[in-house]
Chains A and B, each alone.
Chain A
Amino acid sequence: MKIRIIVDPDLCIGAASCVTIAPDTFIMNMENKAEVIDHGIMPDAPMYERVIDVTEDERQNIILGAQSCPTLAITIFDEDTGLQIYPTA
């Protein structure tokens, strides 16, 4: 399945908990902000928004990473349905 992951750099304070939990999906940049990568690699360089293809286990772990963010800077959408997966309303 495909998910769209968006990091809000204005909210990110560099806690890096997402990197700890989901290191294949998040990486810290030189501004101390989290950016999104694709399974440990970064085609087109890291970026604050990216669509990646994940397994169900990977999806669950990425959601855990997003949930760990103390500033709720990470939003995840199901790319096929357009529905927001995290944060839930």
Chain B
Amino acid sequence: MTTVAEIPGVEAVAPAPARRRYAFRVPAAVPLLFLAVAAVAAVAPGLLTGVDPLAADPLHALAGPSAEHWFGTDHLGRDVLSRVVHGAGHSLSIGAAAIGLAAGAGALLGVLAGLSPRYLDELLSRLFDVVATFPELLLALLVIAVTGPGTGNVILAIGIAQIPNYARVIRAQTFVVRRSGYVEQAVTFGLARPVLVARHVLPNVLGPLPVLATIGMGTAIIATSGLSFLGMGPQPPSPEWGSMLSEARDYLRVAWWAVLFPGLSVTLTVISLTLVGRRLQRRFEGRDR
């Protein structure tokens, strides 16, 4: 007679660590689709809405969602849907530019620190530490306090605040790669140092960067909205999610829609970016296994 028994192996030596399973899993396509729509809104808002985001209509101020105004209107009677769509351009481009700045400068400084002689590495590392000591938003506010408000300055402020995140990871990665067996092996092939760095060190060091940047972009968008909310970002009347929240907050009791939709846009964008980033990360790590 043969009987079947499922033998559970929950203890430490189970051969493959089972990945944590969530009761609810978002299909990969959902965040990608959302980001695609957001990207279209950022690049060509005209495709999604024909309404002018700046056209005020005081007679229909603070009107709730309707067939005419899907997301309702704000305190000046401007179409919230149109402002959310047009606002994507500001929020996303500022976030992307800030991350571009942070990742670019961070990678450069990180690789430099990782390949430098000790004293230079020490100097750069302590510098990263000092910058990282400040909370990101506080540091960004400090930069704005010096440079004054405006789109370009917000990019600069958020970018600088995030540089240490990238520099530290890339520096550590550089250490790992430069001491790896394959770099040592490449030395035995007689490669000159610049060739070695270009061919073996850099490509392997920069691998995790896109993943980090995708996840970091969410943070940057929140920071952008935060600064705009405080009135440091793009100046009125140009639509930006953060400044829309700021303007609409006084009317929260009577017009929830003017707050909900820009807020939802920020939240969903950040969640989508995080989900996509995690997925990239998993794939990237899978490659290394």
Please indicate whether A and B come from the same complex rather than being unrelated chains.
no
